[in-house]
Amino acid sequence: MPFTTTKSAFWAGFRDSAPFILVAGPFGMLFGVLAAEAGLNVLEALAFSMAVFAGASQFTALQLMQEQAPTIIVLISALAVNLRMAMYSASLTPYLGAAPLWQRAFAAYLVVDQSYTLSIVKFEAEPKMTVPQRMAYFAGTNGIIAPLWMTATVIGALVGAQVPDSWGLDFVLPLAFLAMIGPMLRTPAHLAACFTAIVTALLAAGLPYNFGLIVAGLTGMIVGAQTELWLERRKALSEVAR
């Protein structure tokens, strides 16, 4: 259904993101709890979430910091975990690239799994949306999630180690990724990248400082890219043969 105003596009994104409350709340709270257990105070935990705003990278960096890993390893690992954001940004550029620079900078900060997933599906389904409407929808997808993430971080940091293990909050991260990534595995290239990364991560699990995660991510991306190129060449040859 086409939007009539940027305001209606914003609220559509806001509504579409509502189910992710069930993920962002416990996930943010879990980070706050772990941050407190790692020795960060409430303000430091909140500053961490506000500065990075990337759950998987935050958890990775926090774990490595607890293991006394070198700073360079912490930074590289956190960046590797979120390399997918670069791919997300490239995918969104055809839809948001014409927006003013300040809006694109704002959007870059808000690119997370749920905002990308919701936005790319909407933009593909509604090709007549204007750039302001697309940007408004994208902002709407974080209208409730970003504040909730920060608030949950503070609550988790305040509660700290008082959260019982029986709550099972440690399962939120893998469940969140499965819920968001699963439906996006739509092409052979996606599947090749996914399963290559899984196998590589398992084989490289013994590497120190979770370095296997970096190797798995890079290997998955290389295989995915090569698979896509191979499929494109095969398609081109097939068309020529006709």
Mean pLDDT of 146-159: 92
Distances in Å between the Cα of 186 and the Cα atoms of 19, 172, 182 are 22, 24, 9
Mean pLDDT of 166-176: 60
| Angle ∠(121,138,5) on CA atoms, nearest 5 | 100
**Average pLDDT of the chain?**
84
Tell me the pLDDT tens digit for each residue of 192-207.
Answer: 988 998 899 899 888 8
Give the whole-angstrom CA distance, residue 224 versus residue 195.
Answer: 10
Q: Say which residue, 38 or 24, is predicted with more confidence.
A: 24
Shortest CA distance to 77 belongs to which of 56, 62, 60, 58? 60
Query: pTM to 2 decimals?
Result: 0.71
Tell me the pLDDT tens digit for each residue of 217-227.
Answer: 789 888 988 99
Under 8 Å CB-to-CB from 218, ≥6 apart: which residues?
Answer: 80
Tell me the pLDDT tens digit for each residue of 85-131.
Answer: 887 888 899 999 999 999 999 999 999 988 998 999 999 889 889 99
Confidence class of residue 31 from pLDDT cuts 50, 70 and 90?
A: confident
The tokens for 162 are 């008082």
